[in-house]
Amino acid sequence: MRIAIRLLDYLTIQLPDYLNEMNMKSKFETLAIHAGQQPDPTTGAIMTPIFQTSTYVQDGVGEHRGYEYSRTGNPTRAALETCIAALEGGEFGLAFSSGMAATDTIVRTLNPGDHVLAGNDVYGGTFRLFDKEFRRYGLEFSYVDTTDLEAVRVGLRPETRLVWLETPTNPLLNVTDLAAVAEIIKAHPNRPLLVVDNTFATPYLQQPLTLGADIVVHSTTKYLGGHSDVVGGAAVMNVPELHERLAFLQNAVGAVPGPMDCFLVLRGIKTLAVRMDRHSANAAALADFLAAYPKVGKVLYPFHDAHPHAAVARKQMRSGGGMLSFVLQGGAVAAKTVAERTQIFALAESLGGVESLIEVPALMTHLSVAESDLAVDPGLVRLSVGIEHVDDLIADLEQALDKA
């Protein structure tokens, strides 16, 4: 039996005028709920169906309806890819099975002898992939403080093909001036690509493509998913050839997310704007509280007045986000005590969920860089500030700090 509405029709179906208009001109919050998504034409279901299928029936040999095999393409994944691209202000989105899978796929566009200039406090797993794996394939990596524009300029080599940075960084919350770095790169004779990991900020707070980046990469595991229930990644770009190459690799390598995971990220994205507003408001209040607390040596929060990059952060970000780190005067022992004594802040890796998390980077997320130049202060505590009531969060930190 032939299904009444072909899958291709589902994809290319004419949007009602009001949705077409909306998709083109809408603001972020509206795009988050509607971009790439429309009511299912067969049933009217308002939520994008989870197309839990590996293959697609063909009408004749080689005559398919837009989809052949789910590693290559899946309608739930396509909806997510369209939505993330729209939010980043980009043309093309690609979804991956994790943030690291997205990173891995982008680096695979390089050839032996190529050089990557990376930020010197990129996520520990990114450093591990570069240093422990890709170096074996003849790629070269060097690391600079990308907040220092002169260091970026000097760090570029004739063989540099990618400049890879995060802003704000994990876990030090350093902020790089994206427009300024993009300008330096564009003036370089070999025009390397600028890749920005936008996981911490999310497209709601900052849109790197509009500031001159070539590729935006995400761990959708974090704020985009938003509920600590899925692992995923994404990349967004504007140049068709770059999209074609990365889509080829996405299919050839196969690190794709399943439809259920795509559905979860799509569902999370719908509330991204309201969640980020609350994450930022709570984190800003905690930064003020911690800055006034005697046992705390330093507070790292992009919009905090004492932050060395606060002016750049205010220029390119809507608000400071939900990530906050602080250094305890009591060092490693105090950091461990605080992290083990909080009751609402759960002791866990990862970030970006609605619930607050606490961790000690030197002993947890950044253990893989312990012996390197990227090692972090053992007294550093990182918070992923959730959307609980801020009074409860402050009270929880206060009772834990009292014991440190």
Q: Of residues 10, 123, 164, 204, which one binds ligand PLP by CB under 6 A?
A: 123
* Binding of residue 207 to ligand PLP (CB under 6 A): no
Kindly state the tokens that stand for 336: 């461990």
Exposure class string for 169-188: b at 16+ Cβ within 10 A, else e: bbbbbbbbbbebbbebbeee
The Cα–Cα gap between 198 and 218 comes to: 6
CA 238 to each of CA 201, 212, 214: distance values in angstroms, whole numbers, following the listed order:
20, 11, 7
Nearest distance from C-beta of residue 197 to ligand PLP, angstroms: 5
Residue closer to ligand PLP by CB (options 177, 197) is 197
Q: Of residues 73, 119, 125, 378, which one binds ligand PLP by CB under 6 A?
A: 125
What's 188-250 look like in SS3?
A: CCCCCEEEEECCCCHHHHCCHHHHCCCEEEEECCCCCCCCCCCCCEEEEECCHHHHHHHHHHH
* Binding of residue 233 to ligand PLP (CB under 6 A): yes
* Binding of residue 226 to ligand PLP (CB under 6 A): no
The Cα–Cα gap between 195 and 182 comes to: 10
* Binding of residue 282 to ligand PLP (CB under 6 A): no
Kindly state the tokens that stand for 86: 């729209």
Query: What is the CB neighbour count within 10 angstroms for residue 30?
Result: 14
Nearest distance from C-beta of residue 281 to ligand PLP, angstroms: 22
Nearest distance from C-beta of residue 336 to ligand PLP, angstroms: 21
Nearest distance from C-beta of residue 233 to ligand PLP, angstroms: 5
Residue closer to ligand PLP by CB (options 56, 345) is 345
What's 28-47 look like in SS3?
A: HHHHHHHCCCCCCCCCCCCC
Residue closer to ligand PLP by CB (options 29, 145) is 145
Nearest distance from C-beta of residue 359 to ligand PLP, angstroms: 11
The Cα–Cα gap between 13 and 25 comes to: 19
Query: Which one-letter amino acid corresponds to residue 400?
Result: A
Q: Of residues 105, 120, 219, 342, which one binds ligand PLP by CB under 6 A?
A: 219
Contact mark string toward ligand PLP, 160..199, x via CB under 6 A: ------x---x--------------------------x-x
Which residues are identified as catalytic? 71, 123, 197, 222
* Binding of residue 321 to ligand PLP (CB under 6 A): no
Select the residue whose beta carbon is closest to ligand PLP and give its number. 99
Count of residues touching ligand PLP (by CB under 6 A)? 15
**Interface segment toward ligand PLP; rule CB under 6 A; list 56-64, 96-104, 330-338, 376-384:** 96-104
Q: Of residues 31, 86, 129, 231, which one binds ligand PLP by CB under 6 A?
A: 231
**Interface segment toward ligand PLP; rule CB under 6 A; list 17-25, 95-103, 283-291, 395-403:** 95-103
Q: Which residues contact 396 (CB under 8 A, 6 or more apart)?
A: 342, 343, 344, 345, 356
> DSSP alpha helices (H): ranges in 35-174?
75-87, 99-107, 124-128, 149-155
Which residues contribute to the site for ligand PLP (CB under 6 A)?
A: 98-100, 123, 125-126, 166, 170, 197, 199-200, 219, 221, 231, 233
